[in-house]
Every structure is written in structure tokens, then in C-alpha cells.
Chains A and B, each alone.
Chain A
Amino acid sequence: MKKVEKMTVVSHRSIAKNIYECSLSGELVELMARPGQFVHLRVSDNTIPTLRRPISICSVDHQKNAFTMVYRVEGIGTHALSQKRTGDQVDVLGPLGHGFPISGLKEKSHCLLTGGGIGVPPLYELAKQLTKQGHSVATVLGFRSKEDVFYEAEFSELGATYVATEDGTLGERGFVTDVIATNRLSGDRYYACGPRPMLRAIENNMTIPGFLSLEERMGCGVGACLACVCDVKNEEGYRKVCSDGPVFKAGEVVI
């Protein structure tokens, strides 16, 4: 079930370099169940930009009928979005995609969450839901530099949290995979979201079952246009990142 709704901005602020946190309220929140799903936003009433923008859902508050998204300003679409003020309306299509599965874990499992850059936000709702169910989480967050870091404190409240920066200005110097190796992090299951090279490295290095959330340029966001396909390992077919994903079981698709 998904729908289109004009949702209302309830808060909007910058939390790191070019990174914004925006909360929106509306009935559509009722439909947001699984962590890792995304919304498709129309940021302008005219034709520039033409297409909607896919943004992941960072956290959901069913009591307040609101959800929070964290996004990076990269082009005209996200720039237009960053100009929205409290009380403004945003045209939201969602919730879209299949998120991170949290079932199938034995009681009190330990999960390793790894996020790179703008891949971090969807892991937050995941961490909340996993810990609420009695599981424990450790999170590795990777950024380019100190000024790009966000949500370290939020994740720290839910479990052990490691930060890696490429230039070493905060946390451990290097990539998330370096942090995982140095600290010998593992668990019963891993979840990852971030750039393709990061996902590829994690998939290759981890020996436990895991799930990966992919990013791809999208047209429709609902599975009709076939813009965001990816190949399937060991068979002829393909998967659509928007509607079959964005989360796939590790080993399912070619990254």
C-alpha cells in the first residue's frame, strides 16, 4: 500500500555539511512499517526539476504521525527541498520499496549495521526497531571528513558506534571495512547501506548473512519505468531497485 499526499514540514535543519534533517507529518506515516523504505518527493510545482527525488526514511514516529528524512544537497532537486520551511507542504509518494527484513533472527541476536555517507539514515530506524525487539546492534558509520559526520550521538544511544573518516579527522582513519577488521566486528547478521564500492567490499569480506540497500537513479520509483534495474547473480533475470529493493539479500544481485 502506498499513496501520494501533501505532507507538512514540521521541522527542518542543517545537521552537517550539506546534510539536512527534515520531518514531515501526514496520514501517509501510517503506512510506514519497515525500516529501509523510501519516499519519492516532488520538490517543485513546475517542470524544473521534472522528476521526483527518492529519499530514504530515517525514523518514523507513529504517535506524532511524522517521519524524519536526512538527505544531502547535491543538485537542484535537493537544493529546492532544502528551501522548504516549517509549515510548507511537500508532495510525497510512498512508502516505496521493500526495506530491511528484521524477522528470522533468533532471540537477542547481535547485528552489525554499516552505513556510508547518505547511506547512514535508513539504518537509524532499523537500529531502533532491532533494539526494541531485544536485539543488540553495533554501528559503523563512514564519512569523508569530520564536517560530514552526523547521527553519531543518536546511534550511540542504541549500541556501540564506530566512526570512520577517510581523512582521519574524526574517529578512525580509513573506510568502514577497516574499522570492521580492526575491531573484529561481527554478529548474527549484518545490514549495510552506502556507495557501491563500500557495499561490494562488505559483501566480499563478511562471512555472516546480510542485507544490502542499493542506490540507483530512478524515474518512477514504483517499478514501471525500468530505469533502476540491477542484474541478478546466477540467473538471467533482473531486479528493480525501487520496487524489488532497495534492500537485497547479500549475494542476490550484482553490485
Chain B
Amino acid sequence: MTKMNVSLPGLEMKNPVMPASGCFGFGKEYSEFYDLSTLGAICVKAVSPMMKRGNPTPRVAETPGGMLNAIGLQNPGLEHVLANELPWLERFDVPVIVNIAGNTIEEYMHVAREVSKAPNVKAVELNISCPNVKEGGIAFGTDPNIAKELTERVKDVSGVPVYVKLSPNVTDIVSVARAVEDGGADGLSMINTLLGMRLDLQTGKPVLANETGGLSGSAIKPVAVRMIYTVSQEVGIPIIGMGGVTNADDALELILAGASAVAIGTQNFVDPFACPSIIKDLELKLEHYHVETISELSGRSWRPSLQPLTTR
């Protein structure tokens, strides 16, 4: 047990840092830069029952402090992932979380049942928050009753703990969080991207072929902090925090807000070494603030009994 260990349902993590779904493929590209075993966990790209082609290009557009994407859950499908991607990841000593997308509750159940049989898959993450597909995705994440039912039915068939990735594109995120907790969710991932749009001044038309896209990057960090701060006080299940984390200070902020672990998204594109360098810097931060274990920082912002961080 070191000060960086984090223990979450299904996930015994060496440290609290993982790449976020959709920002790391299935790990192969970044394995050319560093040993993936150094990560706390890996959350792979969304997997749907059948191959998904995704949206037309252009699929990305830049914004100040962030980017919009509309990939549209492109993925090679369940069978390919089971046969190729997950076995390939077995060479690394790292728990794998599979993000799941579906058009129907049955599709989510089917993928969860099958991927949770893979030896290195330690948790699934239900994607009920992708803003870039017409069916499935966010349709499940904006109605608390549907979100709860989906969680219950996936819990029935999944062999591993179930995390639910919440959308920030709702009026009341607490009610969705409570609903999935009632449905038996083992944890929450929050937040997914914020729905946004950019127009090309020369053409007067949307920059993205899909017209709208999901906003990510440091621009959304304050939204993530606020939502994690609020939800973590209302639920009893742990939160994997994400949204605009670019460095160890950002990671620490999400943890103080109430997250137990942190996922890195867009920053992987900016710096292929984002995850390992944040892990290294986080460890230095703990020394700097004289903190024994990283887990004691979770939710410290709203726990009245605890003293503020100090470098005494």
C-alpha cells in the first residue's frame, strides 16, 4: 500500500489516474510512448454490439481552452474488441474499464455480459451521455427513470461492477445520479462533454459535419468541479472525475471536489505523456502538502471536519 493507491469497486488501482474513454483508443497508440502498466486503470473507447462507422468529417473543431468533437462512437464492434483489443491489453498489469454504448437497453446488457467475461475487464462504464449520436447515448442519460432502469438491468447481467457516465447536459444532474445509485450503480463517471457548436465565419455554416459536438478540455473544468462537488455530497458511491484535467493541480481539484479517481481526456492529444506525468506530479503534490494517502483528499472541499491543505 502506497500513498497513491486507490481502491474502487472492482478496481485496485496503483494510482488514481486513468485515460478517459474515447481519448485513448484501445491503448495501442499510447503504448508506443510508455508502459501502460504505469496507469491506474485504462478506460477504453465505447464498444457497441456491432461496428459503428461514426460521423462524417470534419469531426473536431477547436475552441478557446478546449475542443469540440463529434466522432459519433466509431468503434469496431463487440466481437472485434473481444477477439483483438482486450486480449492485447492483457500484456499490461492494469485493470481495464470498458465503456459501453447501445441503442437499446438489451444492447447495453449484451455488451456488458460479454465484455465482463474477459479476464482483464474489471468494470464497465455505461455511456448514457454521448451527445453525438441520435439514438442511445444521451437519450438514456437525461431521464432519471430510464437511467435507473438501464442500470438495474445491466447490473443483473454484468459480471463486474458498473459505473455510469453522467452527462452534464441536464438541468438536474443530482436526480440522475441518485437514480442510477438507486438502480445499483457501483460508481459514477462525471462529466462527459458539454454540447456545443462552432460556425465558420467564411461559409456561415457549422464547422462540424455533425453540426454540434461535445466540448472538452480545460474550458469545462469548472463545470466538472461544480457537478462533482454537488453530486458527491448527495450519493454514497464513488466518483471517477473527469473534465478538463491538464495537470496534477487540476486532478487534485477534482479529487478535493469529491472524486476518488481522475480520468484524463483531451490532454492526451496535447501531450501523449499526459497520464504518466500527471501521476508523477500528483505524487510530488502529496509530499508537498504532507498528505499520507491520496484517498483522504476525496471530497475534502466540503467535509467540515478536515483542515485545508497546508504545506506546513
Contact = CB atoms under 8 A, between A and B. Distances in A.
Nearest to B65: A47
Interface residues of B, number: 38
Interface of B: 22-25, 28-30, 32-33, 45, 51, 53-54, 57-67, 69, 71, 74, 217-219, 246, 266, 268-273
Given A2-B32, A224-B30, A217 B57 contact: yes
B39 to A, nearest CB: 14
Question: Ordered nearest first, which 4 A-B pairs have the shortest CB separation?
Answer: A224-B25, A220-B269, A224-B29, A227-B60
A217 B32 contact: no
Interface of A: 1-4, 42, 47-52, 77, 93, 216-230, 236, 238, 243
Contacts, number: 98
A226 B59 contact: yes
B57 A216 contact: yes
Given A225-B23, A243-B29, A47 B217 contact: yes
Given A219-B69, A224-B23, A226-B74, A51 B57 contact: no
17 contacts: A3-B33, A42-B271, A47-B65, A51-B269, A51-B270, A52-B270, A217-B57, A219-B67, A219-B69, A220-B272, A221-B269, A222-B29, A224-B269, A226-B45, A226-B74, A228-B59, A238-B74
B61 A217 contact: yes
Contacts of A225: 22-23, 25, 60, 69, 71, 269
B69 A47 contact: no
A150 to B, nearest CB: 24
Given A2-B32, A224-B25, A50 B62 contact: yes
B208 to A, nearest CB: 9
Given A50-B217, A223-B25, A225-B71, A217 B270 contact: no
Contacts of B24: 224
A224 B24 CA distance: 5
B25 A217 contact: no
A4 B271 contact: yes
Contacts of B67: 50-51, 219
Interface residues of A, dominant DSSP: loop
A203 B248 CA distance: 49
A217 B58 contact: yes
B207 to A, nearest CB: 9
A246 to B, nearest CB: 14
Contacts of A77: 62
A222 B273 CA distance: 13
A227 B69 contact: yes
A50 B53 CA distance: 26
A201 B133 CA distance: 33
Given A47-B246, A49-B62, A236-B51, 7 more contacts: A52-B270, A219-B60, A224-B29, A225-B25, A225-B269, A226-B25, A227-B60
Given A47-B217, A222-B29, A224-B30, A229 B54 contact: yes
Given A2-B32, A224-B25, A229 B57 contact: yes
A10 to B, nearest CB: 24
Nearest to A93: B272
Contact of B59 (A48, A50, A227, A243): A227
B149 to A, nearest CB: 30
Contact of B266 (A50, A93, A217): A50
Nearest to B32: A2
